[in-house]
Amino acid sequence: MRAGDEGAELTACCGLYCGDCLRYKSKAVELARALMSELEAVKFDRYAEVKNASLEEFKHYEECRQVLEAIVRLGCDTPCRAGGDGCLGPCEIKSCVQVKKLEGCWECSEFERCSKIEFLRLFHGDTAKENLRKIKKYGLDGWARHRGKFYSWS
């Protein structure tokens, strides 16, 4: 198993592995939060206003702050099946699993043809369906060491 694997606990309903998600317990989120806190403490917005007269890059300070806020909002400390919000809002997949009283899509005979999984392709390619097949083959506690790459660019 890869370092930090927690198998079943970190397996999302869709078959993705929460532990590989850049949002889950993200150092980037912690750093963005710390940077925002420091910038607010020193009133950097005022400094950027003044500095904008001599350095044009500071005219983008407000956009930079908004990006930092967006990164902070991405943070997720709770895996999907434990109540987390991996989709940053209501998840159609998670709702479907709950309605069908399943543990995850791997228990559903329709997952190979399910259109609910399609939105994941942009970020994850075919990994979700590949992982669902691996969960069926190796079981919920043993599949994670065989999982595919989380992001299509990994």
Do residues 19 and 43 share a domain? no
**Average pLDDT of the residues of the chain:** 91
Could you give the CA distance from residue 154 to residue 122 in angstroms, rounded to a whole number? 13
**Residue 36: which domain range?**
27-73
- Same domain, yes or no: 16 and 55: no
pLDDT band at 2 (very low <50, low <70, confident <90, very high): very low
Supply the pTM of this predicted model. 0.82
Answer whether residue 50 is part of any domain.
Answer: yes
pLDDT in tens, 90-121: 889 999 999 999 999 999 999 999 999 999 99
1 pLDDT higher than 90: no
Residue range 123-138: average pLDDT? 95
Determine, yes or no, domain membership for 85. no
Q: Is 78 within a domain?
A: no
CA separation for the pair 28, 68 (Å, rounded): 10
- Write out the DSSP string of 79-138: -GGGT--TTSS--HHHHHHHHTT-SSGGG-TTGGG-GGGGGGHHHHTTHHHHHHHHHHHH
